[in-house]
Amino acid sequence: MTKVAEIAKLAALPGKRSELLAALSRMVEQANTEVGTEIFVMHEATDDLVTIWTYELYSDQAARDVHGSSAAMREIRPAIAHLVAGPAEIVRLVPAMAKSADEKNPASAGPLGNLSV
């Protein structure tokens, strides 16, 4: 099975990034319940005060589909509509190589770290 990943860029309305992050915490809670969601990280841009970047890694497309069809995903769009400047920009990816996240045994990782596909 091939792992899949996404990077998403969300732009908050001016002065609303903290509120948007607070609302998006529901998505992190959801990701924590999903077996196939391996990484789900939200980042604040350091070069502006409105941008949030997400990085998501899934065990396969089916796991991504589970996340995308969750009740939390359906509920988040209307919940954040008043906080965002527009729709998220999403880039879909397939990992090619990585540094191992397994700090206890990095030598156990293959050419894709512990993200072998």
> Tens of pLDDT along 63-74?
999 999 999 999
CATH topology of domain 4-108: Alpha-Beta Plaits (3.30.70)
Percentage, residues of the chain above pLDDT 70: 85
Tokens of 113: 């770290």
Is the per-residue pLDDT at 39 higher than 90?
Answer: yes
Task: Give the H or E element holding residue 11.
Answer: strand 4-11
- Domain ranges in the chain are 4-108
Model pTM score: 0.82
pLDDT band at 103 (very low <50, low <70, confident <90, very high): low
**Is 108's pLDDT higher than 70?**
no
Q: Is the pLDDT of residue 109 over 80?
A: no
Render pLDDT for 17-36 as a digit per residue (tens, 0 to 9). 999 999 999 999 999 999 99
